[in-house]
């Protein structure tokens, strides 16, 4: 798959989970199709910060403004963003960050059999 396609695979580094996401939808919408607990349903407009992620590989396009209270300009330069406000432009790898970490990992059983108690 390359950056000319419109449907991309997104990998969550901490869990190894993968989901498909279109270049016309937010990462949060694609992530929601994992259909599991811990994926936040927040404001969906970049204001609450509950869907914070760090992009590790790949490119995204902004779908709208994000609150600087939740992602500072310096953080954005190091890959942080809000999953509800960006769409993939390429295959991506990301990390769940900020407020989303606690609900996302609570009770999650990693491939090693380890259960998160965070």
| Residue 79, C-beta contacts closer than 8 angstroms, at least 6 positions apart | 54, 55, 56
Q: Measured from the CB atom, is 30 or 46 closer to ligand FES?
A: 46
The residue among 43 and 114 lying less far from ligand FES, judged by its C-beta, is 43
Give CA–CA dist 54/94, Å, rounded: 5
Give the residue, chosen from 82, 86, 92, 94, that forms a contact with ligand FES under the rule CB under 6 A.
82
Beta bridge partners of 92: 10
Contacts with ligand FES: how many residues (CB under 6 A)?
11
Q: Please state, in angstroms and rounded to a whole number, the distance separating the CA atoms of residues 17 and 83.
A: 16
The residues in 19-58 that bind ligand FES, with binding defined as CB under 6 A, are 42-44, 46-51
> Which CB sits closer to ligand FES, 5 or 63?
63
- Helix then strand then coil, in percent of the chain rounded to 5, is 20, 30, 55
CA distance 79 to 43: 21
Q: Which is nearer to ligand FES, 99 or 116 (CB)?
A: 99
Residue 79 binds ligand FES, judged by CB under 6 A: no
Task: Find the shortest distance in angstroms from Cβ 1 to ligand FES.
Answer: 26
Residues that bind ligand FES (CB under 6 A): 42-44, 46-51, 82, 84
């Amino acid at each position: 798959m390359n950056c000319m396609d419109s449907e991309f695979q997104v990998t969550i580094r901490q869990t190894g989970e993968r989901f498909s996401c279109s270049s016309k939808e937010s990462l949060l919408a694609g992530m929601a199709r994992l259909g599991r607990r811990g994926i936040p349903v927040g404001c969906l407009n970049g204001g609450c910060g509950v869907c914070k992620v760090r992009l590790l590989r790949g490119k995204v396009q902004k779908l709208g403004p994000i609150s600087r209270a939740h992602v500072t300009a310096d953080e954005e330069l190091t890959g942080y963003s809000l999953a509800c406000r960006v769409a993939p432009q390429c295959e991506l790898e990301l990390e769940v960050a900020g407020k989303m970490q606690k609900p996302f990992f609570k009770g999650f059983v990693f491939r090693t059999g380890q259960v998160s108690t965070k």
